[in-house]
Each structure stands twice: as structure tokens, then as C-alpha cells.
């Protein structure tokens, strides 16, 4: 029996949402692992917010901190990596990888949003796409098990 157009659309939607959901969950897992490794292997030092500026609706912070060898570094955060409520002169805890103290990719302000915000958002989106995918698969399975659907398909193929 050849598949119907409805069947093809359901399968395509299922596969599309499953693939997008898997991609988002994979990115969330990688991002969460990155944050976890930063917390496990990172060096924590005090830092001071030396500049706060707005770019559209995003706040940008510049934080000055010293590594364990007393070298000065600057961390610039924008948008998702900028925690709320910090002003110039605020003291924060900066966590960085000892092997890369000067790169802003390895240094973050130690608060929830910069560490866990991205994994949380990506994981939520991935879970949403996975739920839609599962609902499509469930609808297709229900349709396939419905006796009237089978009779309609038999009449069409005859």
C-alpha cells in the first residue's frame, strides 16, 4: 500500500522536530558540561565591575580581575552572560580556567545566569521540540491503529 500525503507529512514533521530537538538537547548538554567543567577545574578570584553600559536592551559589563599570578585581566560580558543587578564598583567572583585566564570564553562571572542560562534555554527548547515530535508520532500511531483509517487506505489502493 502506498503511503498517503497525510502519512508523509506526519513522518516529515516527526523527523524534522526530532532532529531539531536532538540538536538543541546536544547543544544544551555540551554547554552544561562546559559550565560544570569550569566549576570543577576553574580558579575562583574576586573581580570588580569597572564599566556598565547598555547596548539596546542588553547590558554589557567589563570586569577587572587578577589571576593567581597577579596579572590583570578584563572580562567583557554582554547579554546572556551578564548577570542582573550589578553596577560599577560591584565585587563579583570570577571563575576562569587556569590554562586560559585571559580569554573571555573560559572566564565567567560566577552566578546562575552566565553559567547555566544557556543550557537551561537550549534544554527547554530541545525538550519542547522532542514533545512535539512525540505527539506527531503518537498521532500517526493512533491513526494507523484506527480501523476506519485502514479501510480508507484499502479503498484508495483498490
> Residue 1: what pLDDT?
47
Q: For the chain, which residues make up each domain, given as ranges?
A: 5-157
Higher-confidence position of 144 and 15: 15
Higher-confidence position of 21 and 103: 21
Burial class (CB in 10 A: 0-12, 13-18, 19+), 27: middle
Q: Mean pLDDT, to the nearest integer, of 64-82?
A: 81
Give residue-wise pLDDT tens across range 91-117.
Answer: 999 999 888 766 656 788 898 888 898
Amino acid at each position: 500500500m502506498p503511503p498517503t500525503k497525510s502519512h508523509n507529512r506526519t513522518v516529515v514533521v516527526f523527523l524534522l522536530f526530532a532532529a531539531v530537538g536532538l540538536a538543541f538537547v546536544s547543544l544544551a548538554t555540551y554547554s552544561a558540561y562546559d559550565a560544570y567543567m569550569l566549576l570543577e577545574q576553574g580558579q575562583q578570584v574576586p573581580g570588580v565591575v569597572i564599566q556598565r553600559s547598555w547596548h539596546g536592551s542588553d547590558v554589557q559589563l567589563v570586569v577587572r580581575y587578577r589571576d593567581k599570578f597577579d596579572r590583570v585581566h578584563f572580562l567583557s560580558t554582554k547579554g546572556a552572560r551578564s548577570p542582573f543587578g550589578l553596577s560599577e564598583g560591584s565585587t563579583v567572583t570570577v571563575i576562569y580556567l587556569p590554562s586560559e585566564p585571559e580569554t573571555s570564553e573560559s572566564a565567567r562571572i560566577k552566578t546562575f545566569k552566565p553559567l547555566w542560562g544557556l543550557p537551561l534555554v537550549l534544554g527547554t527548547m530541545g525538550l519542547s521540540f522532542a514533545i512535539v515530535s512525540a505527539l506527531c508520532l503518537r498521532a500517526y500511531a493512533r491513526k494507523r491503529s484506527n480501523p476506519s483509517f485502514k479501510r480508507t487506505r484499502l479503498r484508495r489502493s483498490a
